Structure 1
């Protein structure tokens, strides 16, 4: 429960791809335009090409689609991907609550978490508040992506 808003996470299905792709386009548009990288078709297609329902959870508020988050296991960490909250719900605390839940599960397993955020994105402040710092930029071939990483937090401690 966040404030007065009740939210839940449910497993995603292939049928969620269009709603997630549309939300991605809306949420990323200001940052992509600022960086000169917005492309109406590409922003949606990149999501469709990489959508993995088995790693994705849909955020619902009052039973309605409100966002999504994916946690993709990799060899030495989990990658937090496709974390989007509907614009009218941003700032309500839902994003922080979802992030705490997801990170708590990773902490319990002792798994580091990595993510990529667009340079200059306000989302970076959210991630920093939850213990993310600058990660290795190896393999990042463009000037718009920033890799962030969070080491697991031992039980009973906050980042």
Structure 2
């Protein structure tokens, strides 16, 4: 069940389950998240496309393999897909497997609103929220502003958490 829409509702956001027909959209979405990085390579467009296709398919396979029970949601605005939100419910936390928006939807507060709704929903369940964030991802500032802290250095990524309950150690 997707998190209730409260903050994100102000933006006319809706969620629907990912369907096989969405694969082309999520591939384009993935590519958009790597465009700036690949612009610096000097590679020809066909090489960039081949790389992005391979990388997206590897990511998609990873998500299906390691998060088989995750809720895969397409984020829509006005009935049009603008992003994705993949969530996996764990005993003490909701893991954000992926949250990404198309370039035209970035920088408007939509991602922050979605995150606030996920955090609020997790809190009502007595859970925290966690996400792996690349060290160079500009969204890190948003996560930190919302109260996420680095819980573990995972080399290229950091595991960031918000309100994840920790079992108390015996006295």
TM-score (normalizing by structure 1): 0.77
CA offset at residue 6 of structure 1?
1.8
**Aligned residue number for residue 116 of structure 1:** 132
**Aligned residue number for residue 42 of structure 1:** 54
Distance 1:5 1:108 in 2: 22
* 2:76 equivalent among 32, 47, 60: 60
* 1:148 equivalent among 160, 164, 168: 160
Asked if 1 retains the 8 angstrom alpha-carbon contact of 2:8 and 2:114, the reply is no
2:97 aligned with 1:81: yes
**Aligned residue number for residue 13 of structure 1:** 19
CA offset at residue 55 of structure 1?
0.7
Asked if 2 retains the 8 angstrom alpha-carbon contact of 1:58 and 1:65, the reply is yes
Which segments of 5 or more consecutive residues in structure 1 lack a partner in the other structure? Answer: 154-159
**Aligned residue number for residue 109 of structure 2:** 93
Q: Give the 3 Å change call, closer, same or farther, for CA 97–4 of structure 1 in structure 2.
A: closer
Secondary structure class of the residue paired with 1:83: strand
Between structure 1 and structure 2, the one with the greater Rg is 2
Secondary structure class of the residue paired with 2:152: coil
* 1:104 equivalent among 94, 101, 120: 120
Q: What is the aligned residue count? A: 147
Aligned CA-pair RMSD: 2.8
CA offset at residue 117 of structure 1?
0.9
Asked if 2 retains the 8 angstrom alpha-carbon contact of 1:9 and 1:58, the reply is yes
CA offset at residue 17 of structure 1?
2.8
Q: Deviations over 1:46-78 (max 9, x none)?
A: 332124685122111111000011111234422
CA offset at residue 3 of structure 1?
9.8
Q: Mean Cα displacement is larger for which, 71-80 or 114-123?
A: 71-80
Distance 2:54 2:124 in 1: 36
Secondary structure class of the residue paired with 1:41: helix
Asked if 1 retains the 8 angstrom alpha-carbon contact of 2:75 and 2:83, the reply is yes
